[in-house]
Amino acid sequence: MSSFISFTIFGLVSGAAYAIAASGLVLTYTTTRVFNIAHGAFGMVLAFVFWDFSERQGLPLWFSLVLVLLVVAPAAGWFVSRFVTKGLGEAPVSSSLVVTVGLFVGLIGLAQQIWPPEARFVPPFFPETSFQLGDTFVTAHQLITILSSIVVAVLLYVLLNRTRIGTAMRASVDNPELLKLFGGRPERVASLSWAIGISLAGLGGVLLVSVVGLDYYALTLLVINAYAAAMLGRLKSLPLTFVGAMGLGLLTSYASAYLPTEGLLNSVRNVVPALFLFAVIIILPQAQLRIGQVKGIVSAPLPSLGKAVGWGLGLLAFVGLLAGSSSQANLLLVGTAATYAIVMLSLVLLTGYGGHVSLAQLTFAGVGALAYAKLEQPNLYGLVLSALIAAAVGGLVALPVLRLTGLYLALSTLAFASIMDKMIFQADFAFGFNGTLPAGRLSILGNAITSTGGYVFAMSVFLVLVAWGLLLLRRGVLGRMLIAMRDSPAACGTLGLDMRWFRVGLFGMSAGIAGLAGALFAGLRGTIGSADFQSFNSLPLLLLAVVFGVTSVTGAVLGGTGLMLLPVLSSGDPQLGGLLFALIGFGAVFAGRDPNGLANLIFRGGHLIESRVAPQVMSRLPDLPGRGRRRADGDSPGDGSVEVPLSQLTHEPVPAGNEKEVGAHVAARG
């Protein structure tokens, strides 16, 4: 019985910390419509800052705490709202997700850069003090955590209901334009809520760090717990968020106490938050189609068929040359690049054409690899079957969120990745705990490809085939429908398209392509393990895809090469790894608003690049949305692609409600 009570206390304490972090997440989301995936990453960095102040620099504990929570965190929040997420609330969900994923990765890189890996320890508050409660003890730290959550709840209530600025926060949720007419300043409101939100992330991080340990990933991924809790309150109700957090805390605690320590159920304890998140998402009510949000999105130009064939053959010839002349190690790198490029092609389909974001693309590749290794059929049949299995799994992930859209789909992929990572891939029937599986090289029509060079060439053949397939699809019926669905779901519905199954199909197809890449990769490496498909790595993959251009095949090929080069570049100097992460992350923060990426710049050719650099630099300046009305001058006729950055389209003020003078979206072209 006493153990039950102590587990309950432990659960309530974790719940209290989750509640603090989650309420910060809800606050920023409701006031600015930007879902901060990097919320946990901020908590992690702030916990490091706290360690730095209190342990490394030896400042008094209370002073470090005040510095972190009342100076560093609010400053960071203000900076982010002012320079990173401003105006992002009106952008498509995919843009705001990519930008905050950029922050997520960037912050992890930053932390690794500033605080290189070493053993660090943050002691709990008042480690010597504890109180007896019946048969169990409550430490002072635990008590402080619970009290903090109560204080946070009360303060938030008072702020939102008893002060003018708090009232303005709620008002700006309703109608920021009207708030301006009242003389209020929605931007200030947004800055305040980000300052408070990040501060709460920091408090959550500092309270949890003595339990979880000072680790780049463990603290960052606690954000899933915060999501899950916040999701119970549908990302808007703070009381329900607190309930969700406490429930999740208890559930996690009981799971670790009472689940058997053997078998699959043992690993369930690691994924309770992710399962909780799934469960909550499934019970969320149907989302209704939104109307009046039409945005034409400017995409990278589609190459003509001749061009596509030419470039594809060129790429094959290039790889063929490499295959003949390179060392084994370099060939493996080329093969890896091809793998990543195929995975990125799956993102071109899903994100570039379809407008959805997946944070688990590498996990789908892992599913493909696992299937390939388990099937032990190193031939085309095994390859295709592996891709189909990955596709089926992808469809299964999309199925529960059939009725929901954008953000929830992305979050459920994150939860899925986490479940696969900690539970399925580690299980005995899969790779085994930290284990690997052998995988044979592919044989095509009975001819085994044993040489690495030949295999890499075969991989690039698949890459080119997938790329051609995508371009054909984009030109055909399905491609047009994908674009139509991205532009106006409501119109597609009223024209008779059942988008729910279409979306499941899209997700499945994208996962299938990733699975194909994974299966090919398994054959390349010969042995394959869960470490090759860590869920976190899906994030830099997504970011590089966006930075290089997620709307074009070229962007995917370049992005794949870039992602392959990352570990190569950082292998010489481990320090560089963090820096590169930071660069990619923060690069994506700025590039995230234009999914056409670097590839589109290349398309524009030499002299056009010059005319592009200036506006590009301009668009990175702080008051980005204010420039929404600037027209791009380089209106290239004919190919239907106008090089207006996405932000310009999405920030165009849409005439209100019953405006009849003009239509809602006539302003898209320069």
Partner 1 sequence: MSVPILEVIDLTAAYGRIEVLRGVNLAVPKGAVMALLGPNGAGKSTLTKVICGQKKATGGDIHLGGVNVRNASPEELARLGLCTVPEGRSVFPNLTVQENLTLMSYAGVPAEAVLETAFSYFPRLLERRGQLAGTMSGGEQQMLAMSRALASDPALLLLDELSMGLAPLIVDELYDTVAQIAASGVSILCIEQFARTALRVSDYAAVMSGGRVVATGEPDEIMETMQDVILGGAA
Partner 2 sequence: MSLLEVDDVVVQFGGVTAVNHASFVAEAGRITGLIGPNGAGKTTCFNVISGLQKPTRGKVRFDGKTVTNMPVHRRSKRGMGRTFQRLEAFGSLTVRENVRVALDIHRGLLGLVKPGAADIDALLERVGISAYAGERADSIPTGTARLLELARCLAGEPKLLLLDEPSSGLDESETDAFGDLLKELAASGCGILMVEHDMDLVMAVCDEIHVLDFGSVIASGLPAMIRNDPKVQKAYLGYSDEAPDESAALAGMHDSTHDTTVLPVVGAHS
For partner 2, the binding residues (CB under 8 A) are 288-289, 291-292, 294-299, 477-478, 480-481, 483-484, 486-488, 490-499, 640, 642, 654, 658-660, 662-666, 668-669
Which of 62, 63, 157, 182 lies at the binding interface for partner 1 (CB under 8 A)?
Answer: 182
Neighbouring C-alpha atoms within 13 Å toward the C-beta of 589: 24
**Applying CB under 8 A, which part among 339-347, 375-383, 455-463, 652-660 lies near partner 1?**
652-660
> In the complex, what is the shortest distance from the CB of residue 645 to partner 2, in angstroms, rounded to a whole number?
14
Which of 58, 183, 285, 637 lies at the binding interface for partner 1 (CB under 8 A)?
Answer: 183
Partner interacting with residue 289 (select from partner 2, partner 1, none; CB below 5-8 Å by kind): partner 2
**Applying CB under 8 A, which part among 308-316, 576-584, 613-621, 658-666 lies near partner 1?**
658-666
Count of other CB atoms within 10 angstroms of residue 341: 29
660 touches partner 1 (CB under 8 A): yes
> In the complex, what is the shortest distance from the CB of residue 295 to partner 1, in angstroms, rounded to a whole number?
13
500 versus 630: smaller Cβ distance to partner 1? 630
> In the complex, what is the shortest distance from the CB of residue 174 to partner 1, in angstroms, rounded to a whole number?
5
| 134 SS3 class | coil
Whether the Cβ atoms of residue 68 and residue 50 lie closer than 8 Å to each other: yes
> In the complex, what is the shortest distance from the CB of residue 667 to partner 1, in angstroms, rounded to a whole number?
3
Q: Determine the residue type at 149.
A: S
Partner interacting with residue 71 (select from partner 2, partner 1, none; CB below 5-8 Å by kind): none
484 versus 668: smaller Cβ distance to partner 1? 668
Whether the Cβ atoms of residue 499 and residue 489 lie closer than 8 Å to each other: yes
> In the complex, what is the shortest distance from the CB of residue 292 to partner 2, in angstroms, rounded to a whole number?
4
Partner interacting with residue 168 (select from partner 1, partner 2, none; CB below 5-8 Å by kind): partner 1
Partner interacting with residue 492 (select from partner 2, partner 1, none; CB below 5-8 Å by kind): partner 2
**How is residue 130 written in tokens?**
């504890």
d(CA 36, CA 41): 10
279 versus 664: smaller Cβ distance to partner 1? 664
> In the complex, what is the shortest distance from the CB of residue 486 to partner 1, in angstroms, rounded to a whole number?
21
605 versus 638: smaller Cβ distance to partner 2? 638
| 137 SS3 class | strand
Strand duo 130-133 + 443-444: pairing: unpaired
d(CA 187, CA 170): 13
> In the complex, what is the shortest distance from the CB of residue 646 to partner 2, in angstroms, rounded to a whole number?
11
Of 523, 365, 319, 353, which is closest to residue 437 (Cα–Cα)? 523
Residues 578-617, one symbol each (x = binds partner 1 by CB under 8 A, - = not), give ----------------------------------------
374-411 burial by CB neighbour count: b if 16+ within 10 A, else e? bbebbbeebbebbbbbbbebbbebbbbbeebbbbbbbb
173 touches partner 1 (CB under 8 A): yes
Partner interacting with residue 167 (select from partner 1, partner 2, none; CB below 5-8 Å by kind): partner 1
106-117 burial by CB neighbour count: b if 16+ within 10 A, else e? bbbbbbbbebee
Q: What are the angstrom distances between the C-alpha of 374 and each of 275, 367, 666? A: 26, 10, 54
213 versus 655: smaller Cβ distance to partner 1? 655
Partner interacting with residue 388 (select from partner 1, partner 2, none; CB below 5-8 Å by kind): none
668 touches partner 1 (CB under 8 A): yes
Strand partners, 138: 131
Partner interacting with residue 484 (select from partner 2, partner 1, none; CB below 5-8 Å by kind): partner 2
669 touches partner 1 (CB under 8 A): yes
| 63 SS3 class | helix
All residues at 6 or more sequence positions from 140 whose CB lies less than 8 Å from its CB, including other chains: 124, 125, 126, 127, 129, 130, 131
| 605 SS3 class | coil
Query: Please, which of residues 620-649 interact with partner 1 by CB under 8 A?
Result: 629
Q: For 112-130, what is the HEC assignment?
A: HHHCCCCCCCCCCCCCCCE
| 434 SS3 class | coil
Q: Determine the residue type at 614.
A: A
Query: Please, which of residues 243-262 interact with partner 1 by CB under 8 A?
Result: none
Partner interacting with residue 170 (select from partner 1, partner 2, none; CB below 5-8 Å by kind): partner 1
d(CA 177, CA 477): 40
Query: Please, which of residues 416-455 interact with partner 1 by CB under 8 A?
Result: none
Query: Please, which of residues 113-172 interact with partner 1 by CB under 8 A?
Result: 164, 167-168, 170-171
> In the complex, what is the shortest distance from the CB of residue 490 to partner 2, in angstroms, rounded to a whole number?
6
Q: How far apart are the first and last CA of the chain?
A: 71
**How is residue 389 written in tokens?**
């299995």
d(CA 361, CA 366): 9
15 versus 176: smaller Cβ distance to partner 1? 176
Of 435, 92, 583, which is closest to residue 290 (Cα–Cα)? 92
Whether the Cβ atoms of residue 105 and residue 566 lie closer than 8 Å to each other: no
Whether the Cβ atoms of residue 547 and residue 600 lie closer than 8 Å to each other: no
118 versus 633: smaller Cβ distance to partner 2? 633
120 versus 630: smaller Cβ distance to partner 1? 630
d(CA 44, CA 110): 11
d(CA 219, CA 645): 35
Judged by CB under 8 A, the number of residues near partner 1 is: 32
655 touches partner 1 (CB under 8 A): yes
Partner interacting with residue 184 (select from partner 2, partner 1, none; CB below 5-8 Å by kind): partner 1
52 versus 487: smaller Cβ distance to partner 2? 487
384 versus 664: smaller Cβ distance to partner 1? 664
252 versus 488: smaller Cβ distance to partner 2? 488
d(CA 522, CA 499): 34
d(CA 174, CA 595): 29
Partner interacting with residue 180 (select from partner 2, partner 1, none; CB below 5-8 Å by kind): partner 1
> In the complex, what is the shortest distance from the CB of residue 634 to partner 2, in angstroms, rounded to a whole number?
15
Q: Tell me which H or E stretch contains 363.
A: helix 361-375
Binding footprint of partner 1 on the chain (CB under 8 A): 164, 167-168, 170-171, 173-175, 177-185, 629, 653, 655-663, 666-669
